[in-house]
Amino acid sequence: MPDVFAALLYTIFVWWFSTGIILFLNGLPRHTFKWTMSAATVILVAALSALQLTSHVSEIWAAYCAFSCAVLVWAWQEIGFLLGFVTGSRKTDCPEDARGWRKFGLAAETILYHELALVVLGAMVWLVSREGVNQVGFWTYLVLWTMRQSAKLNVYFGVRNLSEGFLPHHLKYLQTYFRRRPMNAFLPVSLILSLAIAIPIWQSVASAPPGSFSAVSLTLIGTLLSLAILEHLFLVLPVPLEGLWRWGLRSRSAES
């Protein structure tokens, strides 16, 4: 089980550290944004290339590589969104009289290009690895995309913790589309469905040969999904997540 434990710790570290780095870069002065986005684009191309190369390798190191590359692909759109390069066609506050489907449509406009970028990047990850035996990259991206969509819907429907502290000043208008409430009806559904997938994954980890490619691969994906489920729980707990990445948010003082 040491390989499984190592994969679990690696996933937790990547989840924590990558989020903090993105927040740190987002808090730097605005004149650095173009350089950050340029570097992220170079990394994106390299990550997609590495995904293609490792898609035909079913060894433990290749599972780690595919997982890491998928996270780097995901990071490109996170950076593009938070820096304001890839957001949506609407960049203003929600009208006070907006309700129902009208409000939902306006909210969708604020992240339209971001959502399209997510689909395009997901298609690229699938294309470069579709014929290989190593599908860790694709499943990693799929977990990230699915759970992020779920989190967005829950924030829109209403939760206790909106995590608005993560939004930079130039995206503060987004919080006018959020709703703060103790709970919403969709959250239990999203948690149950997520657990219905996570539990079989961990059962497969337990039954996989120790030290095998499948055991490590499933642990990487299962841990990531479990962390996403934990993030969903934090949406309604009276404990904000910002404290985990206070070090990444310190650069906000330099924002201009």
Task: Say if residue 60's pLDDT is above 90.
Answer: yes
Say whether pLDDT at 234 is over 80: yes
Per residue in 135-158, pLDDT tens? 999 999 999 999 999 999 999 999
Q: What would the mean pLDDT of 172-188 be, rounded to a whole number?
A: 94
Query: Residue 15 contacts by C-beta under 8 Å, 6 or more apart in sequence?
Result: 224, 227
Domain, as residue range, for 195: 2-254
- Read off the pLDDT of residues 62-107 as tens digits, 9 standing for 90 and up: 999 999 999 999 999 999 999 999 999 999 999 989 999 999 999 9
DSSP 3-state assignment of 133?
A: coil
Residue given tokens 């589309």 in the structure block? 177
Taking 60 as the threshold, does the pLDDT of residue 3 lie above it?
yes
Helix (H) or strand (E) holding 190: helix 186-207
Give Rg (Cα) of the chain: 19
What integer is the mean pLDDT of 178-199? Answer: 96
Give the span between the Cα atoms of 157 and 185, in whole angstroms.
8
State mean pLDDT over 179-185: 93
Looking at residues 233-240, what average pLDDT do you find? 88
Integer Cα distance of 138 and 146 in angstroms: 12
pLDDT tens digits along 25-35: 999 999 999 99
Residue with tokens 């390069």: 85
pLDDT in the model for residue 243: 82
Token duo for residue 85: 């390069």
Cα separation, 86 vs 41, in Å, equals: 13
Write down the pTM of the prediction.
0.95
As a whole number, the mean pLDDT across the chain is 94
Tokens at residue 108, please? Answer: 């969708």
Higher pLDDT, 237 or 44: 44
pLDDT tier, 251 (very low <50, low <70, confident <90, very high otherwise): confident
Structure tokens that stand for 214 in this block: 């499948």
The mean pLDDT value for 212-221 works out to 97
Higher pLDDT, 128 or 256: 128
pLDDT attached to residue 256: 43
> How far is Cα 76 from Cα 144, in angstroms, rounded to an integer?
13
What value, to the nearest 5°, has the Cα angle with vertex 79 and ends 57 and 113?
95
Give the number of other CB atoms < 10 A from CB of residue 110. Answer: 21
pLDDT at 165: 83
Query: Would you say 199 and 117 are in contact if contact means Cβ atoms under 8 Å apart?
Result: no
Q: What is the pLDDT of residue 253?
A: 65
With contact defined as beta carbons under 8 Å apart, do 101 and 72 qualify? no
The domain tally of the chain equals 1
Can you tell me the mean pLDDT for 115-138?
96
Residue type, 107: A
CA distances from 59 to 138, 140, 150 (A): 16, 17, 32
**Residue-level pLDDT at 178:** 93
Residue appearing with tokens 């906000």? 252
Any residues with CB less than 8 A from the CB of 188 and at least 6 apart, and which?
A: none
Task: Give the SS3 label for residue 180.
Answer: strand
Contact (CB, 8 A) for 215 and 205: yes
- Which pLDDT does position 189 carry in this prediction? 97
- 131, with CB counted inside 10 A (0-12, 13-18, 19+), is exposed
